[in-house]
């Protein structure tokens, strides 16, 4: 029998008693953080204390901005005193998703990933939902709680992030939750957090990219050398696609004894995944979708093939790997033009 949100909410609340000290564990991303805040709000004045603990390090600049600008209190798992908690909650994940989670018996699991047959006493797992935040927005509404600006803003960010602004898996409940939350949120904060893509130390790579880029037939090629984080290659590849004449961007950098190559294109009659595979799968791992792909090649594989420390030689090698088409493709093109 399918329960209404109200019934589900009352079951959820029944899991807790007034003396409980609750631990909410998350693998922190916007959806997990917002969902944890919502659980904390639902339990306000119903339990002794609620602690939100992240098992991962929060490293992405937009996630750092979210935590800082919304004043969210998180305690990293390594700073926790485990024995101190009477109830354990997991949101936006299931116990099987991470080795660290398997040591706990969770009382509550609320998630939107495919059901992994978890054993929690109370569980609400809805794989059709775009975000866990949507499930919790329904709980908040059913509980007749008016969300604070901080909570509404966090929940909106979660829905926007997980659905990629409603371009990915989205159901009408996600849209309705967004619509409801919007009037309680702060759009300036949303925008500032979403815009915080860069760390100050990333700026120097943009300068280098602009200085050394090579543009050929609507394609831009950039070789950044060593990078502190492979995300920088992604940011720069996305950046060049904003130029109207650029149809492809191919950006490589070195990180942890590997060369990372990021492919982006406008998605119109192109296949980045195929290009990445054809060019680089023999030396490492490569693949992706039509408009975005990635290759990772160990330096040990690269060394015998190209003098990778020489930026120009490396760029030429990459161009040759990207632009050499298999012969069959050429024949096909000829037929069409005739």
**Residues in touch with Mn ion (CB under 5 A):** 31, 92, 132, 162
Nearer to Mn ion, 136 or 250 (CB): 136
Integer Cα distance of 109 and 15 in angstroms: 11
Kindly state the smallest distance separating residue 31's Cβ from Mn ion, in Å.
3
Nearer to Mn ion, 90 or 251 (CB): 90
Kindly state the smallest distance separating residue 63's Cβ from Mn ion, in Å.
13
What is the widest separation between alpha-carbon atoms in the chain? 80
Kindly state the smallest distance separating residue 262's Cβ from Mn ion, in Å.
24
Nearer to Mn ion, 131 or 322 (CB): 131
Secondary structure (3-state) at 250: strand
Name the β-bridge partners of 285. Answer: 296
Strands 248-255 and 258-265: antiparallel
Q: If you search the block for the tokens 């990293």, which residue do you land on?
A: 76
Nearer to Mn ion, 97 or 213 (CB): 97
Kindly state the smallest distance separating residue 97's Cβ from Mn ion, in Å.
11
Nearer to Mn ion, 92 or 174 (CB): 92
By Cβ distance, which residue is nearest to Mn ion? 31
Kindly state the smallest distance separating residue 167's Cβ from Mn ion, in Å.
15
Tokens encoding 77: 């798992």
Q: Which of 63, 50, 59 is nearest to 91 (CA)?
A: 50
Nearer to Mn ion, 53 or 223 (CB): 53
Is residue 263 within 8 A of residue 272, CB to CB? The reply is yes
Is residue 107 within 8 A of residue 88, CB to CB? The reply is yes
- Neighbouring C-alpha atoms within 13 Å toward the C-beta of 42: 28
Q: If you search the block for the tokens 């500032």, which residue do you land on?
A: 192
Nearer to Mn ion, 20 or 92 (CB): 92
Integer Cα distance of 11 and 6 in angstroms: 9
Kindly state the smallest distance separating residue 29's Cβ from Mn ion, in Å.
7
b/e sequence 88-114, b meaning 16+ C-beta within 10 Å: bbbbbbbbebeeebeebebbbbbbbee
Kindly state the smallest distance separating residue 160's Cβ from Mn ion, in Å.
12
Kindly state the smallest distance separating residue 265's Cβ from Mn ion, in Å.
27
Nearer to Mn ion, 162 or 231 (CB): 162
Is residue 249 within 8 A of residue 276, CB to CB? The reply is no
- Neighbouring C-alpha atoms within 13 Å toward the C-beta of 89: 29
């Amino acid at each position: 029998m399918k329960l209404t949100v109200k019934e589900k909410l009352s079951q959820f609340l029944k899991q807790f008693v007034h003396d409980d000290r609750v631990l909410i564990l998350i693998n922190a991303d916007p959806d997990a953080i917002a969902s944890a805040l919502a659980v904390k709000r639902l339990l306000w004045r119903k339990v002794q204390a609620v602690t939100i603990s992240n098992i991962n390090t929060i490293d992405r600049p937009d996630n750092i901005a979210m935590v800082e600008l919304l004043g969210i209190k998180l305690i990293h798992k390594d700073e926790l005193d485990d024995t101190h908690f009477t109830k354990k909650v997991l949101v936006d994940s299931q116990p099987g998703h991470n080795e660290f989670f398997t040591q706990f018996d969770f009382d509550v699991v609320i998630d939107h990933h495919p059901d992994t047959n978890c054993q929690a006493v109370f569980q609400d797992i809805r794989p059709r939902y775009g975000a866990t935040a949507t499930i919790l927005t329904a709980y908040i509404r059913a509980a007749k709680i008016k969300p604070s600006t901080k909570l509404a803003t966090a929940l909106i960010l979660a829905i926007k992030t997980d659905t990629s602004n409603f371009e990915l898996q989205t159901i009408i409940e996600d849209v309705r939750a967004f619509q409801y939350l919007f009037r309680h949120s702060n759009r300036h904060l949303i925008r500032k957090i979403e815009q915080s893509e860069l760390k100050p130390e990333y700026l120097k790579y943009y300068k280098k990219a602009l200085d050394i880029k090579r543009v050929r037939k609507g394609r831009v090629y950039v070789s950044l050398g060593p990078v502190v984080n492979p995300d920088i290659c992604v940011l720069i590849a996305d950046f060049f696609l904003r130029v109207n004449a650029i149809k492809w961007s191919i950006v490589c950098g070195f990180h942890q004894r590997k060369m990372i190559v990021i492919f982006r294109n406008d998605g119109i009659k192109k296949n980045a995944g195929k290009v990445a595979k054809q060019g680089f799968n023999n030396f490492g791992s490569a693949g992706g979708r039509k408009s975005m792909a990635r290759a990772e090649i160990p330096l040990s594989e690269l060394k015998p093939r190209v003098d990778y420390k020489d930026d120009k030689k490396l760029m030429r090698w990459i161009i040759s790997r990207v632009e050499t088409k298999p012969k069959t493709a050429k024949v096909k093109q000829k037929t069409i033009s005739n």
